[in-house]
Amino acid sequence: MHEVDFQVYPDEVVALVGGNGAGKSTLLEHLNATLVPDDGELVVDGTPITDDDLARARSAVGFVFQDADTQLVAPTVLDDVRFGLQNYGVPAEEATERAREALATVDASHLEDRIPHYLSGGEKRLVGLAGVLVLEPSVIVLDEPLAGLDPARSRLVADHVERIHEEGISVVLSTHDLEFAAAVADRICVMSDGDVVGQGTPREVFYDPELLDAANLHPPSAVRVARDTGLDVDGRPVTEAELVQALAGSQSEPPQTRRVDGPGAD
Ligand SMILES: Nc1ncnc2c1ncn2[C@@H]1O[C@H](COP(=O)(O)OP(=O)(O)OP(=O)(O)O)[C@@H](O)[C@H]1O
């Protein structure tokens, strides 16, 4: 990383996008002081983090790792989710109650007695998320949250991101899935070669071909359809739902704007 200036504001979802090796995970791991900058500063909730104070960054910024196994350490799922709370000295009964609530939030209550090691990749990710949510962080970092998930579980993760956001927690995630980024993010940061090379709303970023080319990225399919088919689509849609809505809107235009050929034509 070099010369990176990156902020997360309250109540926003930020997606880091960029090719392999662009620096997404490295930047994310700085946010909760898993990595500490050689030069520069990490400020959490307005206060600079010092070497003696790393625990504060770790409790304020919850990190859900791409490889969930690194995060799951206890013999059962419930033990795992309450592990962090017990480390912070929360009494056992309260820790259990809060852990159960966090598991319910991610629809994983049914897993509470299971052995974390034997869960599927998607289940592990949900339990990792519960283990972070239970600590009530102000920011949650998700490194490649869709990696290895089937489409149904990917949708579930997208729903959870929205739900977490509605609870007033900021979310920073990295992803190679630009459709997902377009659907969940308020702000997209484009990374290339260890740097943030551009950022903006999904509409600004995904309709900026020069920025996307510079980072070797292809826009989401809705953007490609809207841009390349020559259809007169208003509003620069970035998701399929927005594209469908825009196309439906353009179909309700007056009939003279539609080309009508063939035998049935008047
Ligand atoms: N601890 C480290 N020391 C030195 N170089 C590192 C270290 N960790 C990562 N790198 C290098 O930094 C670069 C960025 O890696 P990073 O994992 O942040 O990329 P990424 O954007 O998350 O990539 P991907 O999409 O492939 O996961 C890579 O070239 C990687 O080899």
- For the CA of 29, the nearest atom of ligand 1: 18
* Cα 189 to averaged position of ligand 1 atoms, centre (Å): 17
Q: What is the pLDDT of residue 260?
A: 41
The model's pLDDT over 78-134, given as tens digits with 9 standing for 90+, comes to 999 999 898 889 999 999 999 999 999 888 999 999 999 999 888 888 899 899 999
pTM over 0.90: no
Q: Give 9's pLDDT tier (boundaries 50, 70, 90).
A: very high
Q: Report the CATH number at residue 29.
A: 3.40.50.300
- For the CA of 194, the nearest atom of ligand 1: 14
**Does 206 fall in a domain?**
no
Mean pLDDT, residues 249-265:
48
Q: Which domain holds residue 63?
A: 13-177
**Does 52 fall in a domain?**
yes
- For the CA of 66, the nearest atom of ligand 1: 27
Six-digit token string for 246: 């825009």
- pLDDT above 70 (res 12): yes
Q: Which of 85, 89, 58 is nearest to 74 (CA)?
A: 85
Phi, psi (degrees; rounded to nearest 5) at 6: -140, 130
Q: Quick one: CA torsion of 140, 144, 147, 151, rounded to 10 degrees?
A: 60
* Cα 20 to averaged position of ligand 1 atoms, centre (Å): 8
ipTM for the complex shown = 0.94
- Report the domain count for the chain: 1
Considering only residues 58 and 24, tell me which one the structure prediction assigns the higher pLDDT: 24
> Furthest-apart CA pair in the chain: how many Å?
80
CA distance 69 to 180: 24
* Cα 44 to averaged position of ligand 1 atoms, centre (Å): 23
* Cα 34 to averaged position of ligand 1 atoms, centre (Å): 14
The model's pLDDT over 194-249, given as tens digits with 9 standing for 90+, comes to 999 999 999 999 999 999 999 999 999 999 988 887 666 667 889 988 888 877 77
**Does 225 fall in a domain?**
no
Share of the chain above pLDDT 90, in %: 52
Across the chain, where does the E strand assignment appear?
13-17, 43-44, 47-48, 61-64, 139-143, 170-174, 187-192, 195-200
**Does 32 fall in a domain?**
yes
**Does 247 fall in a domain?**
no
**Does 228 fall in a domain?**
no
